[in-house]
A and B are shown apart, each in its own frame.
Chain A
Amino acid sequence: NAGVTQTPKFRILKIGQSMTLQCTQDMNHNYMYWYRQDPGMGLKLIYYSVGAGITDKGEVPNGYNVSRSTTEDFPLRLELAAPSQTSVYFCASSFQGPGGANVLTFGAGSRLTVL
């Protein structure tokens, strides 16, 4: 199993450009997440999905959009890139069983620089 796969690993954008970060998982997990990680700030949740067709905002959703048309894929769209979106982005997935907290499996990350 590949786990959680993110592409691209690195990308430089100009201010105002748009792009999509791709995320695919092959573990049949129902839950998927996008986090961003800035130095000294920990991981902040951008968007999450509890299943195909269902998405919701996290802590820092402004400037981003997501969709979840299949169980496997959860792309993150950046519209009109701004320097404040320079960060490392992590996609994660988990299986939520009844009653318990679940373990997130993370991808390797996508480092985005907006100049």
Chain B
Amino acid sequence: DQQVKQNSPSLSVQEGRISILNCDYTNSMFDYFLWYKKYPAEGPTFLISISSIKDKNEDGRFTVFLNKSAKHLSLHIVPSQPGDSAVYFCAAKGVGSGTYKYIFGTGTRLKVLA
């Protein structure tokens, strides 16, 4: 049941450049999306979210873009820093659908090279 997919298991980027992480979803009932960052042996840490009434949300170096027609969202990190090296998960939830669960993708391991 792969409702949320991150097709790139890993990504390497030079420090200072842009990192773009992608996420696709299949369920049109999803209308709240989140990105989490995870270091080894730690819990996921919230980064940024977006609801379906928006197509962009920005917070500092992090911007999330949502394309509802394509069922696609992306996370942009500019400029990338070595401390951004972690696994990034996108997550989705259906608002008002009676579901309580947040469904996570498989993650993308980002490595920022100094």
Do A and B interact?
no
